[in-house]
Amino acid sequence: MVTSQQLELLAPLSGVLMALENVPDPVFASRLIGDGLCIDPTSQVLCAPLAGVISNLQHTGHAVSITGDNGVQVLLHIGLDTVSLGGKGFTPLVEEGQQVTAGQALIEFDADFIALHARSLLTLMLVVSGESIAPRGLVSELVESGEPVLCVQLAQVEAEAVTEDLATAAQRSAPQDLPNANGLHARPAAVFAQAAKGFASSIHLHKQDESANAKSLIAIMALQTVHGDSVYLSAAGADADQALKVLSELLASGCGETVRAVTVEPSPVVTSEPVATDVLRGVCASPGSAFGHVVQLNERALHITEFASHAQTESDHLKQGLADANAALQMLCDNAAGKAQAEIFKAHQELLQDPGLLEQAYALIEQGKSAAFAWQSATQATSTLFKSLGSHLLAERALDLEDVGQRVLKLMLGVQDSALELPDHAILIAEQLTPSQTASLDTRKVAGFATVGGGATSHVAILARALGLPAMCAMSHQVLALANGTPVVLDADRAELLLNPAPERIQQLTLQRARQHERQQRDLQQAALAACTLDGRHVEVSANIASLAEAEQAVALGAQGVGLLRSEFLYLERNSAPSHEEQVSTYSAIARIVGAEHNLVVRTLDVGGDKPLAYVPMEHEANPFLGMRGIRLCLERPQLLREQFSAILASADLTRLHIMLPMVTQLSELRLARQLLEEQAQALGITTLPKLGIMIEVPAAALMADLFAPLVDFFSIGTNDLTQYTLAMDRDHPRLASQADSLHPAVLRLIATTVKAAHAHGKWVGVCGALASETLAVPVLLGLGVDELSVSVPLIPTIKARVRELDFSACQTLAQHVLGLESAEQVRAALQPLVQPMTALEY
Ligand code: PEP
Ligand code: MG
């Protein structure tokens, strides 16, 4: 049983309290780093809000972190943008690793100097270890240093785990030497901590007589391990055996070490043991298949000197590196294959101008560091922070940051990428590729790639699709042990890497690829034709879009409308809410492109889960996918929904407007949202309401579809979420990626239930999850009676063509057959042979 207890935090300063959302800095105000409070100080000594160990003291003395005995980590940050002061005005009174008592003086600072030379004196106290907090019920906004100001809710379970570890004899692994050239630094430490979190046992990593909680990135980094350190693991709990086995193997494999600068370079020799199995499985990141030879991409350390004697020269050097990188990115933008690709490089250009990064780097140069060292430290620190925040989006941003960081470093150090040395038909294998590396792959030589890291929704996957390169992610670490030159078939459609394939398989593949190419060309030419099966069943094929540009592209590729406008993506990069006028202009521009003849389905904000919106700050949640997501959040903040409804309604005359609510679970949510919509429509004098529908992405909604159906105009099935909630598998979990398959019969049965209920009430059903974009799934979805497939823009011609070659009654028989199968593998296996006789062409 999880009971909770509380920890009191004391005011680290005297001064005036301020809510975090009022801090004029979006990173703090949006609670990205952690929840807490802000004080406008009237005293000049920063004191410890809790007892604990100084887990980090910034060398510039402006920020300090304390880790309490119970694992709570508190960051104290004096002033805004004070890193640029380079330590001037701060006198640290403690050292890293020192034990401090609550109330103990930590840093003395010169308030006058800081007020004059930095942006602000506002001082932050943030809980960065994720616990929720509550204010202490203060009577005044004025606080005295040492006065209790916040309560942190502690999960008892942690304490029990520790006790258990101490009480029961923990099991130990054999000692092993760390293979990582730089010990367990940020990246391998993060990989290791993430893997450790997958076990219920309490786990510790030991180095000599020091130990760290294996689930804490900071604790592992604080062990300051180096290459060759002898370490061992201890674990106590039900899955201790398994944890020790898996984590020891992970340590031995280097925890996917990629911290240092990476250059794309074929490995000269591979010394690893040959891999026994002849098929390795992963997850499809970009469809297609290719035959080729393995080229392992390995890392090469850049030689970076730490110190330099002329700050001005170093500062100029950095400026030049940044300018060169900006020019290179501009060239990539100009030559990008599509809008999505160009936007990635634009985002990289913005990162080059990030004031926080630049401040950190220039401050280090002022302290005598070289330009390369300063830039590398600044980018690595920020990327480590992004990765530690538990947000999928920020973790992807960290990868972008590392990518940009390396681009600038290589330019400053005059290091060339050696991608041109690749042999023909290279199948690249890497722990991870960066977006830049992916975009600059020479597609005349590279036939495809497979990576251990990454997900099907990452930027790397988007780029691979834009380049038409078959790709797989979430491969097992075994793939890194394949010898260079091993012949392989990378079959991303089946998510398989076949090792040493027989000559007949290669021949078959070559033929198949030639046919695929021909077919793609033909599909494109026929993109404007309707999607009607051979026996006359019409299916609407529409587009999933997130921008005006995608709307334009979709129409050009033959989309019969927009089945899902993910409205939360329209303003993802903003720190403040868009005005009513901005929203109206975005929706109406899209509505005009879609036109009066077609449906435009606008989904209301689906914030929460893995999609934070900076201007909708949210409290930390232990399970955000099971928390305040989608319609739940909007109903909690009805003004947000009212404003969005009112902006969407302005497009009512421009298109066949549909409004769709995400994450609906309860009938009351639908009723409440409809009431708000009606009120907004009435206020605008609109008498005919647009069509209102809901996403079916929670199993409860699918199971209760017969009760929802009379109250809606349509359903659209979000198979991405429906799969994660039905199978209880996080959709972003790399180790579950191959199992979280939307073709699982349990998911298909929920689709069948939904369609039956909708049709009984004369309502249409679409599928807008990624399953609709899978050619293999089309006959099943048609056979289950789905009326609309809303798909990724580039796949519109393919999916339309796929529908045109199917026989609807055969699809119905097929659908009934697969509903009775046991697993997604069985469904996939059944689809391959059963589909072919129904198609006009072998696919
Ligand atoms: C889904 O869940 O299938 C869906 C379409 O919504 P999203 O992927 O945006 O969560
Ligand atoms: Mg969803």
> Who's near 507: CB < 8 A, 6+ residues apart?
none
Res 396 pLDDT > 60:
yes
Query: Can you give the residue ranges of every domain in the chain?
Result: 2-157, 174-275, 279-297+420-502, 311-413, 538-692, 697-843
Mutational pocket test of ligand 1: of 768, 786, 788, the residue with most ligand atoms within 8 Å of the beta carbon = 768
Q: Which ligand is nearest to the CA of 611?
A: 1
Dihedral pair phi/psi, residue 449, rounded to 5°: -150, 160
Task: Give the three-class secondary structure for 21.
Answer: helix
Which tens digit of pLDDT belongs to each residue from 413-422?
A: 887 665 446 7
Tokens 């949510």 found at: 669
604 has a pLDDT exceeding 70: yes
Distance 117 CA to ligand 2 centre (A): 47
Protein residue with least CA distance to atom 6, ligand 1: 718
CATH class for domain 311-413?
mainly alpha
Ligand 1 touching residue 606 (CB < 6 A): yes
pLDDT band of 186, cuts 50, 70, 90: low
Q: Say what the pLDDT of residue 488 is.
A: 94
Q: Which residue has its alpha carbon closest to ligand 1 atom 9?
A: 566
Tell me which residue has its CA closest to atom 1 in ligand 1.
Answer: 718
Domains 279-297+420-502 and 311-413 belong to one CATH topology: no
Q: Which tokens belong to 172? A: 């130990």
- Given a cut of 70, is residue 266 above it in pLDDT? no
Question: Relative to the CA of 544, which ligand 1 atom is closest?
Answer: 5
How far, in Å, from the CA of 39 to the mean position of ligand 2? 39
- Determine which of 411-425, 503-517, 799-813 has the lowest per-residue pLDDT on average: 411-425
Distance in angstroms (rounded) separating the CA atoms of residues 810 and 833: 13
Which SS3 state, helix, strand or coil, does residue 415 take? coil
The answer to whether 459 is a known catalytic residue is: yes
Q: Domain spanning 697-843: which CATH class is it, in words?
A: alpha beta
User: Which of the residue ranges 4-8, 199-203, 410-414, 737-741 has the most confident prediction, judged by mean pLDDT?
Assistant: 410-414
Binning pLDDT at 50, 70 and 90, where does residue 70 land? confident
Residue 210 has pLDDT above 90, yes or no: no
Q: Stretch 383-412: mean pLDDT, rounded? A: 76
769 lines ligand 1 (CB under 6 A): yes
What was the pLDDT predicted at 842? Answer: 31
Residue-wise pLDDT tens digits, 344-353: 788 788 888 8
- The atom of ligand 1 lying closest to the CA of 719 is 3
Just give the CATH number of 279-297+420-502.
Answer: 3.50.30.10
Residue from 284, 634, 768, 811 carrying the catalytic annotation = 768
What proportion of the chain, given as a percentage, has pLDDT over 70? 86
Beta strand ranges found along 474-615 (DSSP E)? 487-491, 496-499, 540-545, 561-566, 599-603
**What was the pLDDT predicted at 185?**
67
Q: Which of ligand 1's atoms lies nearest the C-alpha of 770? A: 3
Mean pLDDT calculated for residue range 173-190: 76
Q: 193-207, 282-296, 784-798: which has the highest mean pLDDT?
A: 784-798
What would the pLDDT profile of 309-324 be if each residue is shown by its tens digit?
899 999 999 999 999 9
For residue 601, the cross-strand partners are 658
Is the CB of 732 inside a 6 Å radius of any atom of ligand 1? no
| Predicted local distance difference test score (pLDDT) of residue 164 | 36
Q: Any idea which fold 174-275 has?
A: Histidine-containing Protein; Chain: A; (3.30.1340)
Ligand nearest to the CA of 751: 1
Quick one: which ligand is closest to 605's CA? 1
CATH for the 2-157 domain, from 3.40.190.10, 2.40.37.10, 2.70.70.10, 2.60.120.1030: 2.70.70.10
Q: What is the pLDDT of residue 222?
A: 65
Considering only residues 101 and 34, tell me which one the structure prediction assigns the higher pLDDT: 101
- Give residue 606's pLDDT: 92
Residue spans of beta strands (DSSP E) within 23-159: 35-41, 45-47, 52-57, 63-67, 73-77, 90-92, 99-100, 105-109, 123-127, 133-135, 142-143, 148-155
**Extended beta strands in 346-445, E state:** 426-430
Atom 3, ligand 1: residue with shortest CA distance: 718
Ligand 1 probe mutation, 393, 545, 566, 788, most atoms within 8 A of CB = 566
What does the pLDDT read at residue 347? Answer: 78
30 confidence band (pLDDT: 50, 70, 90): low
Which residues, including other chains, have CB under 8 Å from residue 12's CB and lie 6 or more apart?
Answer: 39, 46, 47, 48, 49, 76, 106, 123, 125, 145
**Contacts of 70 by beta carbon, 8 Å cutoff, 6+ apart:** 7, 154, 158, 159
Q: What is the pLDDT of residue 89?
A: 92
Of 726 and 273, the one with more pLDDT: 726
Pocket test residue of 603, 626, 697 for ligand 1, highest count of atoms within 8 A of CB: 697
Question: Mapping DSSP to helix (H, G, I), strand (E, B) and coil, where does residue 80 land?
Answer: strand
d(CA 58, CA 360): 11
Instruction: Report whether 614 contacts 26 (CB < 8 A).
Output: yes
Quote the percentage of the chain above a pLDDT of 90.
43
Q: Going by CA atoms, what residue is nearest to atom 4 of ligand 1?
A: 718
Q: Which residue has the higher pLDDT, 277 or 150?
A: 150
Residue closest via CA to ligand 1's atom 10 equals 721
Cα–Cα–Cα angle for 720, 746, 603, nearest 5°? 30
pLDDT of the residue at 183: 75
Q: How many CB atoms lie within 10 A of CB 500?
A: 10
Which of 86-100, 305-319, 828-842 shows the lowest mean pLDDT across its residues?
828-842
Burial 651-682 (b: 16+ CB within 10 A, else e): bbebbbbbbbbbbbbbeebbebbbebbeebbe
- Nearest ligand 1 atom to the CA of 769 is 3
pLDDT at 592: 97
From the CB of 721, is ligand 1 less than 6 Å away?
A: yes
Q: Out of 185, 459, 598, 744, which one is annotated catalytic?
A: 459
Q: How far is the CA of 718 from the centre of ligand 1 (A)?
A: 5
Report the separation in Å between the CA atom of 629 and the middle of ligand 2, taken as the mean of its atom positions: 10
pLDDT at residue 301 in the model: 64
Q: Does 55 sit in the ligand 1 pocket, CB within 6 Å?
A: no
> Which residues are CB-neighbours of 245 under 8 A, at least 6 positions away?
none
pLDDT of residue 260: 40
How close is the Cα of 722 to the center of ligand 2, in Å?
8
666 or 616: which leads in pLDDT: 666
What number does the ligand 1 atom closest to the CA of 609 have? 10
Per-range mean pLDDT, top range of 371-385, 447-461, 471-485, 633-647: 633-647
> Is the C-beta atom of 697 inside 6 A of ligand 1?
yes
Q: Ligand 1 centre from 721 Cα, in Å?
A: 6
- 720 Cβ below 6 A of ligand 1: yes
**Could you tell me if the CB of 599 is within 6 A of ligand 1?**
no
Q: What is the mean pLDDT of the chain?
A: 84
Would the CB of 766 count as within 6 Å of ligand 1?
no
The answer, yes or no, to whether residue 276 has pLDDT greater than 60, is no
Q: What is the rounded distance in angstroms from the CA atom of residue 599 to the CA atom of residue 124?
A: 48
pLDDT value for 391: 57
**Which residue, by CA, sits nearest to atom 8 of ligand 1?**
720
Ligand 1 atom at minimal distance to the Cα of residue 662: 6
Q: What is the pLDDT of residue 615?
A: 76
Ligand nearest to the CA of 610: 1
From the list 789, 776, 346, 291, the residue with the least C-alpha distance to 538 is: 789
Superfamily (CATH H level) for 538-692: Phosphoenolpyruvate-binding domains (3.20.20.60)
Express each pLDDT in 228-247 by its tens digit.
Answer: 888 999 888 888 888 888 88
Question: What distance in Å separates the CA atoms of residue 264 and residue 375, rounded to the nearest whole number?
Answer: 21
What is the per-residue pLDDT across 156-178, written as a single tens digit (0 to 9) for each? 544 333 333 333 457 888 889 88
Hey, which of 632, 720, 771, 773 would you mutate to test ligand 1's pocket, going by the most ligand atoms within 8 Å of its Cβ? 720
Cα 574 to ligand 1 centre (Å):
21
Ligand 1: atom nearest CA of 771 is 3
Q: Ligand 1 centre from 199 Cα, in Å?
A: 28
Q: Which ligand has the minimum distance to the alpha carbon of residue 718? A: 1
Question: Residue 769 Cα, ligand 1 centroid: separation in angstroms?
Answer: 5
How many angstroms is it from 696 CA to the middle of ligand 1?
10
For residues 389 and 478, the model is more confident at 478
Distance 606 CA to ligand 1 centre (A): 9
Cβ 718 under 6 angstroms from ligand 1: yes
